[in-house]
Chain A
Amino acid sequence: MLTILFDGIAYGMLLFILACGLTITLGLMNFINLAHGAFAMTGGYVTVVMMNRFGISFYWCLPAAFLASAILGGVLEATLYRRLYHASHLDQVIFSVGLVFMSVAAADYLMGGQQQLIQLPPELSGRTEFVGVGIGRYRLFTIVVCAILVVTFQLILAKTRFGSRLRAAVDDRRVAMGLGINVPAVFALTFAFGSGLAGLGGAMGAEILGLDPNFPLKFMIYFLIVVAVGGTSTVSGPFLAALLLGVADVAGKYHVPAIGPFVIYGLMIIMLILRPAGLFARGGR
């Protein structure tokens, strides 16, 4: 029971790292980016290539995955995404589905369609008994890394100048621009950062979530659930939503494998009807 809870938390942490870039894209620019999973997949493949072809240590692969996805995200933001901020939602959906299709086919072409495996360093594989609870070491590692990232992220948002600019821009874009905040630059940076986080999540998740060319399609709905349930106005909202989703998904798959997905999608739909602005949305709207 506790093992499931633990695995669920690790899974949820991972989902949060993967999805929090999307939170910002949706919250700040009101852009429905279904291609967010493609950045995560990029990070995953960077790790696989570096580890399996060049034998580079797993620990070096993680920052590399972050950088690669962040650069990709930054470039795409500057060249493509930026033009579509004011397009209709339908256009954004079509555009990002097109990107997903391209990324899926490109990954298939470059890496082949099979599931990619990575060999974790020995100190991260296996299980440890801790107070009678079996704990996967890699899951523990995931939780620790993700927790550090979440705290850092929250501190950046709450304490730094950049963070307050970002929050101002999320709250009211026009007023923020009127105050002299360079909203497009803030957004470009944040987009790249979010893509990088997704890449990092993809790299760490290669072991837990699996990695194949269909990754962006398979996890699209999960990212969307995290954002829609958590709302886009806080960091803690999506974080709690991701944890909930992770635990519910792992527990559902373990206890009631036949109806697990129904529980999640059903809960999502009910939630969306009752609280369209997100479970943890601030009052008002």
Chain B
Amino acid sequence: MSLPVQESVQTGAEEQHVDQSRAHRLMQRRTTVRSFEILIWLGALATVYLLPSKMLILTEIAILALFAVSLDLVLGFAGIVSLGHAAFFGLGAYTAGLFARYVTAEPVAGLLVAGAAAGLLGYATSFLILRGSDLTRLMTTLGIALMMAEAANQMAWLTGGADGLSGFSIDPIFGLVPFDLWGRNGFIYYLVVLFLSTLVARRLAFSPFGLSLKAIKSNPVRAALVGVPVRRRLITTYTVAAVMAGFAGALLTHTTSFVSPDVLAFHRSADVLLVLAIGGTGYLYGGIFGAIGFTLLKDALSVVTPQYWMFWIGLLLVILVLVGRARLTRWVDDLGERLPGLRGTNR
């Protein structure tokens, strides 16, 4: 009599076990390190030795990539269309500049302070983007960025106004590694920051947290009904993205030892959106690919037509949208299907 009962209990447990492992496998497939990811970072490292004369443009790419990865968190994962991401980038840049001028010129400390400042602004403003449609969010973010730009322009006693903030030089990293003339050490430092930030973003995006963001993106109301804390998720994501954008701004300041009001300009918010348009959103590496594509394209175009490269970038975007952006990045999924990625060993 007791045997069948026992059996049924056992099968129930087994079913549960099977279910669990299915969910587990699903999560694991998302977190699996794909081979192309390793290739990217190896390639980035290799450029240090292979392209020593191109360090400046590589630096530019690394900074733009970090900025774009940060926007991808907001746009590609949380689904918030932002036209004012430069607010965080610019605040980071100015904070790093002021910190270097008045406190200490050690770059890593400046980087962390800049990230914290941008994060605070991100946290404070995240409450404004919780409500409303795409248009409202677009305008709120744009309005915040414009206000920041105007503030930087008006507070000339602090920020130098339209002339920009100068009069500081950056010390060696940790007081040990100086920025050399060719920008090699600088590039390695930027690469490390980019790598660590991407790692954090990756951990965030490909976790249960990231899955809940996906749910929010496709339908916030249903996500809330299933029990996803929509507000908290959006606030966290926006703040983390703001910190990363602040890092990117600080890195720019460390490269140029100068902050121009240009860091808060509208075109910077637009550019980074275009980077994601080129690279694709929602798989985290779009920012990096897009930054490479965008910077090289801009560089090549500005050699051909120094004044009018904007026209061709614009044309490219129009064509890109008409053809369909999704087609450009489909290969990533294909690649993931075809190549069995390397298994993550630590989880």
| A residues with CB within 8 A of B | 26, 32, 80, 83-84, 87, 89-91, 93-95, 97-106, 108-109, 217, 221, 224-225, 228, 258-259, 261-262, 265-266, 268-269, 272-273, 276
Contact = CB atoms under 8 A, between A and B. Distances in A.
B320 interface: yes
Contacts of B318: 80, 95, 98-99, 102
Contact of B308 (A99, A109, A276): A109
Nearest to A91: B321
A102 B315 contact: yes
B147 A97 contact: no
Nearest to B125: A269
B108 interface: no
B308 A105 contact: yes
Interface stretch (B98-106, B135-143, B327-335): B135-143
Contact of A98 (B150, B307, B316): B316
A272 B139 contact: yes
Given A94-B320, A101-B317, A221-B146, A268 B311 contact: no
B243 interface: no
Contacts of A32: 134-135, 138
Given A97-B273, A106-B311, A108-B307, A272 B140 contact: yes
Most buried by B among A101, A103, A272: A101
B340 to A, nearest CB: 32
A93 B146 contact: no
8 contacts: A94-B273, A94-B320, A97-B273, A101-B313, A217-B267, A225-B139, A272-B139, A276-B131
A108 B128 CA distance: 37
B317 A104 contact: no
B320 A26 contact: no
Interface class of chain A by DSSP: helix
A258 B156 CA distance: 11
Contacts of B227: none
B266 to A, nearest CB: 6
B276 to A, nearest CB: 9
B322 A228 contact: no
A87 to B, nearest CB: 7
Most buried by A among B138, B151, B266, B318: B318
Contact of B143 (A83, A90, A97, A221): A221
Nearest to A225: B139
A233 to B, nearest CB: 14
A242 B55 CA distance: 49
Interface in B292-347: 307-311, 313-318, 320-322, 325
A221 B142 contact: yes
A268 B138 contact: no
Contact of B311 (A91, A94, A101): A101
A75 B257 CA distance: 48
B144 interface: yes
| Nearest 9 Cβ contacts at the A-B interface | A98-B317, A101-B314, A105-B311, A102-B314, A95-B321, A89-B134, A105-B310, A276-B132, A98-B318
B270 interface: yes
Contacts of A87: 321
A13 B139 CA distance: 22
A84 B324 CA distance: 10
A80 B308 CA distance: 22
Interface string B102-144: 0000000000000000000000000010011111101110111
A98 B318 CA distance: 6
A106 B314 CA distance: 11
B277 interface: yes
Given A32-B135, A102-B310, A258-B154, 4 more contacts: A94-B317, A95-B318, A265-B150, A272-B140
A261 B151 CA distance: 9
B132 to A, nearest CB: 4
B66 interface: no
Contacts of B81: 89-90, 93
Contacts of B317: 94-95, 97-98, 101
Given A91-B325, A101-B317, A109 B311 contact: yes
A224 B266 CA distance: 15
A96 B95 CA distance: 33
Contact of B140 (A93, A261, A269): A269
B314 A108 contact: no
Most buried by A among B139, B308, B321: B321
B321 A100 contact: no
A24 to B, nearest CB: 14
B248 interface: no
Contacts of B132: 272-273, 276
A33 B309 CA distance: 22
A262 B132 CA distance: 22
Contacts of B266: 217
Given A90-B81, A105-B310, A272-B132, A97 B274 contact: yes
Contact of A228 (B135, B151, B308): B135
A261 B150 CA distance: 7
